[in-house]
């Protein structure tokens, strides 16, 4: 199915009761919805999606501070802290360090994707299904930079700091702060953690963090720091704003809730077609199409229910698969009967984790992975 702009126009008015609708229509027919004007936050129209890679024009944009336009020629990445040899690297230095650059697809989902489905309504950007996408990223593994600097054996975490700065009102930040997040050293050394200068075969665009960003495969998007300016290797856990007051959730030890930073994406599936409030003909086979992902794990199966969760049948997984990538799937509903119908999908990963039916309040307003039903009319 091609990216279809009419589908968007047909379904959007009913499907987005809460959103200020300002679709950005691009030359290739893809649309994004402006969730916040300044700083720029754009949501993909997930109902447009049907393929493994997400075109850059259709990819969601999530910014906490104004988009930066940095000069690639004068750009330097600093590497400091618990390292033998602090570094200052230009883009050319990074290309040389890479020896052979790597190009691989990785899926990124914002930890707030699906926030509109929370009850009671939550503060924060009210994303529907479109704060997720998969791009082909070109760059080098973060581990190569760490090896070049020589990580000391007291090291515990790696802080990634963006060049963008600003003040957060709620909860209040201590004045102007930069966007930064840390990774445990073990994760930082995994091959799915990259520093990228290209997205889908072209230089990174300013909105996606040009000239250099981190892409942390398997983790929610907040870990993939854009406009990456500094790497600090530290010997104690980092407690920065974006992993303590923001982007954290409650884990329980002996029933006692304790705040921890958000890390890996939870097992989840979404239905792209049909979309909410679509009208489809009765008695004719209907193709249900969607995507599923499970962070660092692989998708083992996706089940679909066309009777509001009473019964489930297995969907067919698409051939295209990749580590830390979503998996597309489809299901043929043989003969839909007339009426208001609730359809759902539920994913299971290769570790046996199943997408939950109920929302877990300990996850606060993030990691929104519970099964959401789509209502359509069969006529």
Q: Does 224 bind ligand MTE (CB under 6 A)?
A: yes
b/e sequence 299-327, b meaning 16+ C-beta within 10 Å: bbbbbbbbeeeeeeeebebbeeebebbbb
**Stretches 54-62, 141-149, 332-340, 341-349: which one binds ligand MTE (CB under 6 A)?**
54-62
**Residue whose tokens read 């597309």:** 328
- Binding site partner of 64, from Mo ion, ligand MTE, none, Cβ cut-off 5-8 A by kind: ligand MTE
Q: Which residues pair with 341 in a beta bridge?
A: 376
Calpha distance 181→170 (Å, rounded): 18
Residues that bind Mo ion in the complex, under the rule CB under 5 A: 62, 110, 221-222
Q: Does 208 bind ligand MTE (CB under 6 A)?
A: yes
**Stretches 55-63, 145-153, 319-327, 352-360: which one binds ligand MTE (CB under 6 A)?**
55-63
Residues 143-162 that bind ligand MTE (CB under 6 A): 162
Backbone torsions φ then ψ of 7, nearest 5 degrees: -55, -45
- Binding site partner of 61, from ligand MTE, Mo ion, none, Cβ cut-off 5-8 A by kind: ligand MTE
Between helices 91-98 and 142-149, what is the axis angle to 10°? Answer: 100
**Stretches 74-82, 224-232, 267-275, 332-340: which one binds ligand MTE (CB under 6 A)?**
224-232
**Stretches 49-57, 223-231, 262-270, 370-378: which one binds ligand MTE (CB under 6 A)?**
223-231
- Binding site partner of 179, from ligand MTE, Mo ion, none, Cβ cut-off 5-8 A by kind: ligand MTE
Residues 17-46 that bind ligand MTE (CB under 6 A): none
Q: Does 62 bind ligand MTE (CB under 6 A)?
A: yes
**Stretches 216-224, 272-280, 296-304, 365-373: which one binds ligand MTE (CB under 6 A)?**
216-224
- One residue of 16, 61, 291, 368 binding ligand MTE per CB under 6 A: 61
Q: Does 221 bind ligand MTE (CB under 6 A)?
A: yes
- Bond before 39 cis per omega within 30 degrees: yes
Count of positions on this chain that bind ligand MTE (CB under 6 A): 18
Q: Does 215 bind ligand MTE (CB under 6 A)?
A: no
Question: Which residue, 78 or 301, is less far from ligand MTE as judged by CB?
Answer: 78
- Binding site partner of 63, from ligand MTE, Mo ion, none, Cβ cut-off 5-8 A by kind: ligand MTE
Calpha distance 238→261 (Å, rounded): 10
Calpha distance 150→379 (Å, rounded): 65
- DSSP string of 304-354? EESSTTS--EEPEEPS---TT--EEEEEEES-PPSEEEEEEEEEEETT--B
Q: Does 164 bind ligand MTE (CB under 6 A)?
A: yes
Contact (CB, 8 A) for 368 and 112: yes
- One residue of 222, 232, 368, 372 binding ligand MTE per CB under 6 A: 222
Half-sphere exposure of 227 (CA within 13 A, CB side): 19
- Binding site partner of 193, from ligand MTE, Mo ion, none, Cβ cut-off 5-8 A by kind: none
Query: Smallest distance from the beta carbon of 134 to ligand MTE, in angstroms?
Result: 11
Question: Which residue, 62 or 187, is less far from Mo ion as judged by CB?
Answer: 62
Residues 243-272: x where in contact with ligand MTE by CB under 6 A, - otherwise, as a string: ------------------------------
Helix (H) or strand (E) holding 289: strand 286-293
CA distances (Å), origin 323, targets 17, 113, 134, 176, 190: 36, 21, 12, 37, 12
- One residue of 8, 49, 52, 60 binding ligand MTE per CB under 6 A: 60
- DSSP string of 239-253? --GGGTTSSEEEEEE
Evaluated on CA atoms 58, 64, 67, 70, the torsion sign reads: negative
3-state secondary structure of 46: helix
- Binding site partner of 364, from ligand MTE, Mo ion, none, Cβ cut-off 5-8 A by kind: none
Q: Which residues bind ligand MTE (CB under 6 A)?
A: 59-65, 110, 162, 164, 179, 208, 221-222, 224-227
């Amino acid at each position: 199915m091609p990216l279809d702009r009419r589908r968007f126009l047909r379904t959007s008015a009913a499907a987005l009761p809460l959103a200020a609708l300002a679709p950005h229509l691009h030359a290739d027919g893809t649309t994004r919805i402006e969730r916040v004007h300044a700083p720029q936050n754009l949501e993909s129209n997930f109902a447009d999606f049907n393929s493994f890679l997400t075109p850059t024009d259709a990819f969601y944009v999530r910014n906490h501070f104004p988009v930066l336009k940095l000069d690639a020629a004068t750009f330097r990445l600093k590497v400091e802290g618990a390292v033998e040899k602090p570094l200052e690297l230009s883009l050319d230095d990074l290309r040389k360090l890479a020896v052979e650059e790597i190009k691989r697809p990785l899926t990124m989902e914002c930890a707030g994707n699906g926030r509109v489905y929370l009850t009671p309504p939550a503060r924060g950007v009210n994303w529907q299904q479109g704060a997720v996408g998969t791009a082909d990223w070109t760059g080098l593994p973060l581990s190569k930079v760490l090896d070049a600097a020589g990580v000391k054996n007291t090291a515990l975490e790696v802080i990634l700091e963006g060049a963008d700065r600003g003040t957060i009102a709620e909860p209040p930040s201590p004045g102007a702060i930069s966007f930064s997040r840390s990774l445990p050293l073990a994760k930082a050394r995994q091959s799915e953690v990259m520093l990228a200068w290209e997205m889908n075969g072209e230089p990174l665009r300013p909105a996606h963090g040009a000239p250099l960003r981190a892409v942390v495969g398997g983790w929610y998007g907040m870990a993939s720091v854009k406009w990456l300016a500094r790497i600090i290797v530290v010997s104690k856990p980092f407690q920065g704003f974006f992993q303590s007051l923001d982007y954290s959730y409650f884990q329980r030890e002996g029933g006692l809730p304790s705040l921890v930073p958000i890390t890996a994406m939870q097992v989840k599936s979404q239905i792209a077609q049909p979309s909410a409030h679509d009208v489809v003909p009765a008695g004719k086979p209907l193709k249900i199409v969607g995507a599923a992902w499970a962070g660092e794990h692989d998708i083992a199966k996706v089940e679909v229910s066309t009777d509001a969760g009473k019964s489930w049948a297995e969907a067919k997984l698409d051939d295209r698969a990749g580590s830390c990538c979503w998996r597309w799937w489809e299901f043929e509903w043989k003969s839909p009967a007339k009426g208001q119908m609730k359809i759902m999908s539920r994913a299971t990963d290769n570790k046996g984790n199943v997408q939950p039916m109920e929302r877990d309040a300990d996850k606060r307003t993030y990691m929104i992975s519970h099964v959401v039903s789509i209502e359509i009319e069969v006529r």
